[in-house]
Amino acid sequence: MVSSPWTEEWQEFAKTMGAPPVLPEDLELQQAAANQIFTTLAGLQPPLPETIISRRTDSDAEDMQIPNGPKVRVYRPGTTNEEPLPMIIFCHGGGWVAGNLDTEDRGCRIIASMTESWVVAVDYRCGMQVSLEEEVDDCYRAFEWARGRARAHGADPDKMVVWGGSAGGSLAQAVVYRLVQEGKGSQVAGLALMCPVVLHPDATPEKYKHLNSSYTENAGPLPFISAADAYSIYERRDLAPPNTHINLFPVAGGPDAVRGFPPTYVVSSDNDATRDDCTVLAAVLKDAGVPVKHENIMGLAHYFWIFNLPMANRDFWSKLAKGILWTLMQGRSA
């Protein structure tokens, strides 16, 4: 059972894909298996557009090590624009246990090109042996490092955006929460989240519970992450209620916890157990007075853009790029 009929493109792709990717139950094997799935799916994607692939050289994507911090990959946009450009910090997906600088390299190149922005992808520590607080720390250090170097890169430190997907979306909004709590909220101009995992359904504030139905509507087997998968991840990490962890999942704290957030763009997939993480987040942000734009894409699954779906993916990357730029156009009120 899913919320909306699958798109025709998805149905055709599903016929060629066979059974949805499934991770092994052995925790020690999950990280390597998940990364292999990312790599395999990336190999099925069509070539990048000529405008992007023509700039795919070593000088346009440089791996760097932050002192006492994580490794990052810095993407330079191919533009003749002499104005200081935005800088986007990216936190990859992977269920807090997988993902690296290569698993979402394609998307970082696309967004750097489409938004004419520097992109800094974070190779944060991940795995069951790493706490979420440590993962957030790595992403936070990357933000501070990048902002400190922005002018040297030709970027504008007042146009910093934090971007994340799935589990990386939770890290992105946790970084923003930390900045706001430390009185540094003005340092981040925008937040962009794609299918973020930001709220255990049982931790939904009472006022917003009627908005959170996707774990029930999309309860059956789904590609990449099912409702059962999501519940299991929370349980394994000891993140299920009564442990609400407002510092990691501030939406559970309601409007007061997200007051002072920057303009936020959120994109969700309708056939996704975690869809209503986005629905509730958007409502909470709105009630907190934060400019927010939420787009829900029908007939597709969690993180669908890593699959070979050319039509859906072109539309997705266009929406995301426009959404990121939308956050920057709103201005900062706090």
Domain residues of the chain, as ranges? Answer: 8-329
Output Rg (C-alpha) for the chain, integer angstroms. Answer: 18
Q: E strands along 13-140, which residues? A: 61-65, 71-75, 85-91, 118-123
Q: By C-alpha distance, which of 107, 115, 116, 44 is closest to 78?
A: 116
Confidence of residue 50 (pLDDT cuts 50, 70, 90): low
Within 8 A by CB and 6+ apart from 249, the residues are: 170, 174, 198, 199, 200, 203, 239
C-alpha neighbours within 13 Å on the C-beta side of residue 120 = 31
Find out if CATH 3.40.720.10 is the number for domain 8-329: no
Query: How many Å apart are CA 213 and CA 113, to the nearest integer?
Result: 36
Q: E strands along 166-308, which residues? A: 190-194, 264-271, 292-301
DSSP category for residue 184: -
Instruction: Identify the three-state secondary structure at position 39.
Output: helix
Query: How many Å apart are CA 93 and CA 212, to the nearest integer?
Result: 22
Q: Specify the amino acid at residue 307.
A: F
Q: What are phi and psi of 205, to 5 degrees?
A: -55, 145
Is pLDDT of 113 > 70? yes
pLDDT per position as a tens digit, 212-233: 999 999 987 777 678 888 898 8
Q: Is 227 exposed, middle or buried (0-12, 13-18, 19+ CB in 10 A)?
A: buried
Query: Tokens representing 305?
Result: 């853009």
Residues 101, 105, 107: CA angle, nearest 5 degrees: 135
Whole-structure pTM value: 0.93
pLDDT per position as a tens digit, 132-168: 999 999 999 999 999 999 999 889 999 999 999 999 9
pLDDT per position as a tens digit, 238-286: 888 887 899 999 999 999 999 999 999 999 999 999 999 999 999 999 9
Instruction: Identify the three-state secondary structure at position 248.
Output: coil
Let me know: does 157 contact 151? Beta carbons within 8 Å: yes
Provide the mean pLDDT of the chain: 90
